[in-house]
Amino acid sequence: MWNVINHRKNGKLISVEMIFIDEKKNLIYGIMDTNQVNRLKDILNEGSLFTIKNFKVVESTFAYRPIESPLTIILSALTVMNNLAEDVVDIPINGFQFIRPTMIDSRVDNYTVLSGEVSFFITHASRIYVNLDIDYVRSLVQKFTTMSTEVQIIERSNVNNISIEEEMILNPMDIKELFDSEWSPKIQVSANVSLGNLKDPEDELDITDGGRSRKKDT
């Protein structure tokens, strides 16, 4: 909620404007005329819950709108407001309207909707969460993602239903495949490796799981 003043007339109050959020997280722009400020401003506290009756709804035709909404609520002399207890309905205190990066250029020199960036002040104790598993973040991911967010189960190529260890023995990797593979702590084994100076390129280095390695001359 903020005051709109006229700087050309010594800061004269034009109106008090605000953004309403309902239980479905919809955002709508609201305007309180100056002749209603004394009657309603003390009732309107940011972050509080209340019901509104007998208000006007008009089409949003003006420029510099703080949100992208086709309608605007006007609080008139007939408007009635009542405060609600905080636990009656679950309504968030903050609301945001995000746009895709491809839409940013279309907002340049376009004064219909005010666009800006969300800035954060962080310290060494701040934490950054990526795709935090909460309802609001999940709804944003579903809304803006270009890829499916459904869990896809990738079946193993092992049709014989044998253990991973047996499959590794039956289908050994070469050196290139070994270096290109992903390490997994679930299938790690211990090995003691002793490297020596091989006398001949044909020499073979034997490694046994959990045992000492042996060099065998061929």
Q: What is the pLDDT of residues 113-122, one digit of tens each?
A: 877 766 777 7
Residue-wise pLDDT tens digits, 34-57: 888 888 877 888 878 888 889 999
Question: Regarding the domain delimited by 1-123, which CATH topology (the fold level of the hierarchy) does it fall under?
Answer: OB fold (Dihydrolipoamide Acetyltransferase, E2P) (2.40.50)
- Cα–Cα distance, 50 to 210 (Å, whole number): 70
Higher pLDDT, 36 or 164: 36
What contacts 208, CB < 8 A, 6 or more positions away? Answer: 191, 214
Q: How crowded is residue 20: how many other Cβ atoms within 10 Å of its Cβ?
A: 19
Instruction: Choose the weakest-confidence range: 14-18, 139-143, 182-186.
Output: 182-186
- Cα–Cα distance, 96 to 64 (Å, whole number): 16
Q: Where are the domains of the chain?
A: 1-123
pLDDT score of 208: 47
Q: If you average pLDDT over every residue of the chain, what do you get?
A: 75
Instruction: Give the model's confidence band at 186: pLDDT under 50 very low, under 70 low, under 90 confident, else very high.
Output: low
215 by Cβ neighbours in 10 Å (0-12 / 13-18 / 19+) ranks as: middle
Per-state percent for the chain, helix, strand, coil, to nearest 5: 20, 20, 60
